[in-house]
Amino acid sequence: MLKNPRIAEKHDTSDWPLGFLRWALVVVFLWFGCMKFTSYEAHGISSFIVHSPFMGWLNTLLGVQGASDVIGVLELSTAAALILGAFVPFFSALGAAMSCATYAITLTFMFSTPGVTAAPLGGFPWLSGDVGQFLLKDLVLLAASACLLIKSVQTAPRRAPEAAVMSR
């Protein structure tokens, strides 16, 4: 089990670029999270949700706007965890893990959403401009989230075994 999670960008001075990743992710989650409470966004994401094997039940259970609202709450919670993570190590890891989970799930839409590939070009590997390319950006966001998570859960240097025995 990993112990002593750290605030990723405060690990050492060479990791300051991770702060840019954190705050960029915060902006994305705040912006997209707030948008989920609008009818415009709810209807915009409904085709992704309804075809998803992981999230399709949300529309059935809560309707289009209700499903979008739940996702909005999750996205705003992720933003809050990332913000708190700039000050509290536990939240650094939690927010980055929530972000990783978000983008891992949205990348599954590449396989479940109709219209991801450009049929006029012969389908896979050609991505459509409106759906496929929109989803592909989540690969970069997943990578940024994973970098932040990895740095957040690094362990403190361990004591030498003989020092641990002597301290007992």
* pLDDT tens profile 37-64: 999 999 999 999 999 999 999 999 999 9
Q: Is residue 2 part of a domain?
A: no
Q: Is residue 27 part of a domain?
A: yes
Q: Is residue 59 part of a domain?
A: yes
Predicted local distance difference test score (pLDDT) of residue 126: 78
Total of domains in the chain: 1
Q: Is residue 1 part of a domain?
A: no
* 76 in Cβ contact with 37 (< 8 Å): no
Predicted local distance difference test score (pLDDT) of residue 167: 53
**DSSP assignment letter at 1:** -
Query: Model pTM?
Result: 0.82
**Range of the structural domain that residue 128 is part of:** 8-166
* pLDDT tens profile 66-123: 999 999 999 999 999 999 998 888 999 999 999 999 999 999 998 888 888 888 887 7
Q: Is residue 3 part of a domain?
A: no
State mean pLDDT over 22-37: 96
